[in-house]
């Protein structure tokens, strides 16, 4: 198979894996090339069957190529996104499990920062109670992944029953295996209920911590309408790069408790090459959100692309220091 054919083959498999194949788009793009269309249909079905049994390196490399246009160097990772893929495949740090568990992590954080940083737990168990006896408003989450979340602002038994059914499905659903974020599927699944803190679309501040030093802070805006993203350095100087979403050009004031949040993020990230620490800033003081070891699953584009390598340099430098001090590393 020639080089051109090989890349087309890889590209086709990547699209088929994601289920992103669109016959109309394909016909337009390839001038009604029916042979290509049949091939994509074939590869889509093939990958659905093969993905569960293929070595993880294969589908990850194909997805990466589809996103970034090159095959990741997993054994010699240099960019931030390559390093995330390498972490998923090559690291077996069991700490990822407890620090990613939205229930278990609270005691870990409280032991290092104090209980004042923790959002109270109203309920944590395999299912929701039969009726809502919690003071409203509340937020309901699954503890073993991201995106499983519901807000409850009024007591309506019929809606509560519907939510119980939804959360029961959460408890039966593993984190997608093709993401290869293995630690989420080793978490004991629980439904978590917390009081809803703040008002409106409360921003969280996502601290990119490399070897215990917070280098950049991500802030997302208009998440439910016109999602944009901004980055600041630790001195709250706005950065002119974006990641995954369009750049937010509007300036933002520094959060009132920025210094305390930086100290907290660095305390939590001290013994990791890289971790993202998400915090909220309330008038009464900051609160812990979560810790993430593979932001965007390693498939978010930087603009400009050179920042992918700048973040990678920070990670690699931190990995050397972490390896020397604790024996850890990538």
For residues 192 and 171, is the Cβ–Cβ distance under 8 A?
Answer: no
At 198, the pLDDT band (50, 70, 90 cuts) reads confident
Domain-ending residue, one of 39, 74, 89 = 89
What is the overall mean pLDDT for the chain? 87
At 42, the pLDDT band (50, 70, 90 cuts) reads confident
174/237 same-domain check: no
pLDDT per residue over 284-314, tens digit each? 999 999 999 999 999 999 999 999 999 999 9
At 35, the pLDDT band (50, 70, 90 cuts) reads confident
What's the pLDDT at 47? 66
Which residue reads 């660095």 in tokens? 266
Rounded percentage of the chain residues whose pLDDT exceeds 70: 83
For residue 151, the SS3 value is strand
Residue range 2-27: mean pLDDT, rounded: 37
> In angstroms, rounded to a whole number, what is the distance separating the alpha carbons of residues 330 and 323?
8
Domain-ending residue, one of 159, 176, 195 = 195
> In angstroms, rounded to a whole number, what is the distance separating the alpha carbons of residues 15 and 298?
17
Residue 98 within a domain: no
For residues 187 and 117, is the Cβ–Cβ distance under 8 A?
Answer: no
The Cβ of residue 53 has, within 10 Å, a number of other Cβ atoms equal to 6
Residue 110 within a domain: no
For residues 16 and 47, is the Cβ–Cβ distance under 8 A?
Answer: yes
| CA neighbor of 292 nearest in space, from 207, 212, 234 | 207
| CA neighbor of 105 nearest in space, from 93, 90, 92, 121 | 121
Residue range 63-75: mean pLDDT, rounded: 95
Q: Which two tokens stand for residue 256?
A: 């009132």
59/84 same-domain check: yes
Residue range 104-117: mean pLDDT, rounded: 98
Residue 111 within a domain: no
Residue 96 within a domain: no
Q: Residues of 195-213 as b/e, b for ≥16 C-beta within 10 angstroms? A: eeeeeeeeebbbbbbbbbb
At 45, the pLDDT band (50, 70, 90 cuts) reads confident
Using CA atoms, how far residue 35 sits from 22, 42, 151, in Å, is: 15, 11, 48
- Helix (H) or strand (E) holding 80, with range, is helix 80-90
Residue 99 within a domain: no
What's the pLDDT at 36? 67
Residue 229 CA from chain centroid, whole number? 15
Residue 55 within a domain: yes
Residue range 64-69: mean pLDDT, rounded: 95
213/304 same-domain check: yes
Number of domains comprising the chain: 3
CATH code of 208's domain = 3.30.470
Residue range 198-207: mean pLDDT, rounded: 84
Which residue reads 């993203």 in tokens? 229
- Helix (H) or strand (E) holding 124, with range, is strand 123-125
At 225, the pLDDT band (50, 70, 90 cuts) reads confident
166/281 same-domain check: no
What's the pLDDT at 321? 84
257/242 same-domain check: yes
Please give the residue range of the domain that contains residue 309.
202-326
Transcribe 130-143 into DSSP letters: SS--SPSSEEEEET
Task: Say which residues have a Cβ less than 8 Å from residue 46's Cβ, sequence separation at least 6.
Answer: 16
Residue 318 within a domain: yes
Transcribe 174-238 into DSSP letters: PPPGGG--GGGGGSPP-EEEEEPPSSSS--EEEEEEETTEEEEEEEEE-TTTS-EEEEEETT--E
What's the pLDDT at 243? 97
Rounded percentage of the chain residues whose pLDDT exceeds 90: 74
Residue 108 within a domain: no
At 322, the pLDDT band (50, 70, 90 cuts) reads confident
pTM here is 0.84
Give the strands of the sheet with 274-282, arranged side by side: 238-239, 228-233, 213-221, 204-210, 274-282, 285-292
Residue range 20-29: mean pLDDT, rounded: 42
263/213 same-domain check: yes
Domain-ending residue, one of 195, 227, 251 = 195
215/275 same-domain check: yes
Q: Is the pLDDT of residue 53 over 80?
A: no
Q: Is the pLDDT of residue 54 over 70?
A: yes
242/313 same-domain check: yes
Q: Is the pLDDT of residue 9 over 50?
A: no
The Cβ of residue 72 has, within 10 Å, a number of other Cβ atoms equal to 25
85/43 same-domain check: yes
Q: How far apart are the first and last CA of the chain?
A: 34
């Amino acid at each position: 198979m020639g080089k051109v054919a090989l890349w087309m083959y890889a590209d086709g498999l990547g699209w088929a894996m994601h289920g992103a194949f669109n016959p109309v788009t394909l016909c337009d793009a390839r001038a009604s090339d029916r042979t290509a269309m049949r091939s994509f249909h074939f590869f889509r079905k093939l990958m659905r069957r093969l993905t569960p049994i293929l070595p993880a390196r294969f589908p990850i490399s194909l997805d990466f190529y589809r996103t970034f246009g090159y095959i990741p160097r997993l054994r010699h990772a240099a960019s931030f996104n390559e390093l995330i893929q390498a972490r998923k495949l090559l690291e077996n740090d069991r700490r990822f499990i407890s620090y990613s568990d939205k229930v278990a992590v609270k005691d870990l954080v409280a032991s290092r920062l104090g209980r004042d940083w923790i959002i109270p737990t109203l309920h944590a168990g395999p299912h929701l109670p039969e009726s809502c006896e919690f003071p409203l408003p509340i937020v309901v989450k699954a503890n073993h992944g991201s995106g499983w979340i519901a807000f409850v602002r009024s007591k309506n038994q019929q809606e509560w029953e519907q939510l119980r059914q939804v959360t029961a499905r959460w408890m039966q659903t593993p984190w997608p295996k093709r993401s290869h974020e293995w630690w989420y599927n080793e978490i004991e699944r629980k439904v978590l209920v917390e009081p809803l803190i703040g008002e409106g679309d409360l921003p969280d501040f996502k601290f990119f911590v490399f070897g215990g030093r917070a280098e950049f802070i991500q802030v997302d805006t208009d998440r439910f309408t016109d999602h944009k993203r901004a980055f600041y350095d630790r001195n709250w100087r706005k950065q002119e790069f974006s990641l995954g979403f369009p750049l937010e050009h509007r300036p933002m004031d520094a959060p009132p408790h920025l210094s305390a949040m930086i100290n907290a993020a660095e305390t939590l990230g001290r013994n990791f090459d890289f971790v993202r620490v998400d915090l909220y800033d309330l008038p009464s003081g900051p609160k812990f959100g979560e810790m993430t070891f593979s932001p965007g699953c390693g498939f978010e584009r930087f603009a400009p692309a050179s920042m992918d390598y700048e973040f990678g340099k920070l990670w690699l430098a931190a990995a050397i220091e972490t390896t020397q001090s604790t024996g850890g590393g990538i």
